Structure formats: structure tokens, C-alpha cells
Amino acid sequence: MSDRFSLQGRKALVTGANAGIGQAIAIGLARAGAHVTCAGRRGCGETLEKIGSGGDEIRLDLADPMAARDVFTGTGYDILVNNAGIIRRADAVAFTEADWDEVIDVNLKALFFTCQAFARAALAAERPAKIVNIASLLSFQGGIRVPSYTASKHGVAGLTKLMANEWAARRVNVNAIAPGYIETANTEALRADRARNAAILERIPAGRWGQPEDIADTAVFLAAPASDYLHGAVINVDGGWLAR
């Protein structure tokens, strides 16, 4: 592997690393050489088994947006991947305040304050660092029946650009990935619905659902020296969905 894509000697933390996209990112970073801390409100045992000796875990329930405030001081993390997120579905006219607040707290407020804690430590140590936020196609589209999720993911894209503006000159890169339709447990119901699955595939120029590894490979690039001049980007990894 070219040194420009190597994460050897780097220390990373991935939120929501117990399954799906977060698990794939944690494994991908570890394969590139990073020591990876898998963070989640549930255990990440399966992910750690796949990583082997290059990983550890902490419990982090981001329903408390300040849960990570003490995680980064003096711990030497170089990479943060904000993958943890939740979704609630209901018509906009029936959407509850509780569902709004729960999603915004995890997907947006916790993401910002986790980035803040990470950046404070990196800036204080004058250490180069990489932040990778997981946005969504709904950072660009409206969606249906997911108002708080859509608002949160628009916010993730905006905060990614704001933080990049503030920290780029101090060698902290902040970028985001907007996944398309990916084969995970969260999309199982969509794939099982023949009509919905066919409609989705018809819209995707690549003609297939994405794999979690597609997102992981992009995350490795954004965490590696190869992306040192990339700041404030939101990269669509969607098989061409948004280009259609």
C-alpha cells in the first residue's frame, strides 16, 4: 500500500461501529494500519473479532449529546468517524416533538459536540487530524416521512463545511460521506419489497445496491494523507443516484 493511503501508527475512533457501515469503516481503517476504537451504546464484539489485535471498544451512548466530551483529552486520537445515527418515520403533520428531539440530539447535536471535543484535543496538541462525518443522500434531498432525519443530515453537511473553514489552516481536515442505498440491516425491508427494490435499482446508474465496504474505502481515503488538501467536501458514494 502506498504511504499516502496508509494509516499505520494512527489512532481512530468510530461511532456506531457495532454493525453495518460503522463496522465496515472500523474494519477498513484497521486494515489500513490504524488502531481503532469501536464506540457504541451496544457492544462491538463482532467488529472487534474481525479487526483482531488492532482494536478496542468503549461504550458511548450519544443520546447524551455530550457523551464524548472527555474521551479525547490526552488520548492521542488522530481520526474521528461520526457514523452513529438514528431515524424516526412519520408523516410531517403527525411527527412528534420527542421523535424530532431524539434524532436531532444523536445525529446532529452529538456529532457537533463530539467533533468539538476531538478538535480541541488535536488543536491543543498541534497535531494533524481527520474528521469524517457520515451524511446522507438526504443532505441534498427532502425524502418522505423523515423530517428530523432530513434536517439532521442537511445539518451534518453544513457543519462539515463550517468546521472545515475554521480548522483547515490548523491541519484538521473535516469532510463527509453521503452514502446511497447500501445493503445493511436498516435497508432489509426495502430490499425485500419487490416493487420498491426494483424502483430503487432502476434509479441507480450502477445498477446495484452499495456495500458497506464501498463507504469504508472512501472513509480510509478521507482519513489518509492522500486527502490532506480536501476540506469541507461531502462525497456522494451512491452509485450515481444523485447524478440521475
The neighbour count for residue 42, using CB atoms within 10 Å, is 10
* Residues with Cβ within 8 Å of residue 141, at least 6 apart in sequence: 150, 242
Whether the predicted pLDDT of 185 surpasses 80:
yes
Q: What CATH code is assigned to 3-233?
A: 3.40.50.720
Residue 109 Ramachandran class (φ > 0 left, ψ -120 to 50 alpha, else beta): alpha
Mean pLDDT of 7-33: 97
Q: Name which of 109-113, 183-187, 239-243 the model is least confident about.
A: 183-187
pLDDT of residue 38: 98
pLDDT of residue 189: 85
Mean pLDDT of 92-120: 98
Question: Is-contact 172 121, C-beta < 8 A?
Answer: no
DSSP 107: I
Q: For residue 216, how far is the Cα from the chain centroid?
A: 10
Q: Using 50, 70 and 90 to split pLDDT, how confident is the model at 2?
A: low
Beta-sheet strand order (sheet of 35-40): 55-59, 35-40, 11-15, 79-82, 129-134, 172-179, 234-237
How does pLDDT run across 213-233, given as a tens digit for each residue? 999 999 999 999 999 999 999
Largest CA distance in the chain: 53
The neighbour count for residue 101, using CB atoms within 10 Å, is 12
Mean pLDDT score of the chain: 96
Cα–Cα dist 55/130, whole Å: 18
Q: Using 50, 70 and 90 to split pLDDT, how confident is the model at 67?
A: very high
Cα–Cα dist 82/159, whole Å: 12
Mean pLDDT of 85-112: 97
pLDDT of residue 50: 95
pLDDT of residue 186: 82
Q: For residue 31, how far is the Cα from the chain centroid?
A: 18
Mean pLDDT of 74-99: 97
Tell me, yes or no, if 149 is annotated catalytic. Answer: yes
Q: What percent of the chain has pLDDT over 90?
A: 95
Question: Is-contact 33 7, C-beta < 8 A?
Answer: yes
Whether the predicted pLDDT of 1 surpasses 70:
no
Mean pLDDT of 94-105: 98
Cell readout for 21 is: 457501515
Choose the catalytic residue: 77, 149, 181, 229. Answer: 149
Mean pLDDT of 23-35: 98
Task: Please name the residue ranges forming H helices in 13-96.
Answer: 20-31, 45-51
Mean pLDDT of 39-59: 94
Q: What percent of the chain has pLDDT over 70?
A: 99
